Amino acid sequence: MEESEATVQEQRAPIKIMIAVSKSTLKGYPHPSISSSQAFDWTLQKLIPHSCREDYQLLLLHIQVPDEDGLDDMDSIYATANDFKDMKQKEKIRGLHLLKEFVNKCNLAQVPCKCWIKEGAVKEEICKEVKRVHPDLLVVGSRGLSSIQRMFIGTVSEHCVKHVDIPVLVIKRRPEDAPDDPSDD
């Protein structure tokens, strides 16, 4: 009887879908990137049935890449320790505004969600979070880089496909929404 109770509890556990979201390189915070928006929208429209949205949980992960000196374009020669703290806090707030966009969409669609921010190298942090959180599926957007760009830059989606132990769904950006330079997003 204990085994059947455990089976019932496992069936009630939500299907956890992690979506890695990023800011727009064209518009900056709080605007999401084209590929993040499309991956999120595709997941809501195609993967999560309207009739059982409570059976799913979206896990929204945003990775902030630290600037070398933490001050973006400011001259760090004249920065104080407080300047560094203030900039880091402002960056975190900008990330929260980005996540708020996605949380609002989840609330409108009546899909439970959790969101959080990590700091570091995007590829590695996504893989670490997958290991830590154990989602059932990872969804990432793709910018559609050329083979030369992929060779020099590498892609987050390719790295995740190779290094996580769960299914990874890569959502390609619609060609009509792509900017002239595919590295822009």
pLDDT digits (tens, 9 = 90+) for 74-87: 555 666 777 777 77
Tell me if 185 sits within 8 A of 143, measured CB to CB. Answer: yes
Q: Which has more confidence, 43 or 72?
A: 43
- pTM to 2 decimals? 0.80
Residue 85's contacts (CB-CB under 8 Å, 6 or more residues apart) are none
Top mean pLDDT of 72-76, 165-169, 181-185 is at 165-169
- What is the pLDDT of the chain when averaged over all its residues? 83
**pLDDT on residue 149:** 47
Residues listed for the chain: 185
pLDDT value at position 7?
57
- Mean pLDDT over 138-160 rounds to 68
**Structure tokens given for 172:** 């390609």
pLDDT digits (tens, 9 = 90+) for 104-122: 999 999 999 999 999 999 9
Question: Which stretch of DSSP H or E encloses residue 169?
Answer: strand 168-172
